[in-house]
Amino acid sequence: SQQGEEDPQALSIQEGENATMNCSYKTSINNLQWYRQNSGRGLVHLILIRSNEREKHSGRLRVTLDTSKKSSSLLITASRAADTASYFCATDLGAAGNKLTFGGGTRVLVKP
């Protein structure tokens, strides 16, 4: 079973538009991370937000975390064709082993 669930499952936008995807999870977390995956290859770490943080920015990325609703969102501003990828949220429960529990992902297509 997967801790996080992303919404929507797929997203198609035009270059220059913003892309927003959401992640919901079930149990208390230590931190939540977002990853990008291109064409079934390895995962690239994008951003980490700790449970005591509410918002974080990295370049064109903005992540929010609402622990009361057990949800997070990832916003990609001014999207580019190179942003076409699958995006996953992963929760770290903080237990020994740093096991990451991933959601099913949002597949984003940015059309030029």
Partner 1 sequence: ETGVTQSPTHLIKTRGQQVTLRCSSQSGHNTVSWYQQALGQGPQFIFQYYREEENGRGNFPPRFSGLQFPNYSSELNVNALELDDSALYLCASRSVGVTEQFFGPGTRLTVL
Contact positions vs partner 1 (CB under 8 A): 2, 4, 31, 33, 35, 40-45, 48, 88, 90, 92, 95-105
Instruction: State the minimum distance, in angstroms, from the CB of residue 50 to partner 1.
Output: 9
Residue closer to partner 1 (CB basis): 82 or 95: 95
Tokens of 95: 């237990």
Tokens of 73: 């969102």
Instruction: State the minimum distance, in angstroms, from the CB of residue 103 to partner 1.
Output: 5
SS3 41: coil
CA distance 91 to 101: 5
3-state helix, strand, coil in the chain (%, to 5): 5, 55, 40
Residue closer to partner 1 (CB basis): 13 or 48: 48
Residue closer to partner 1 (CB basis): 77 or 101: 101
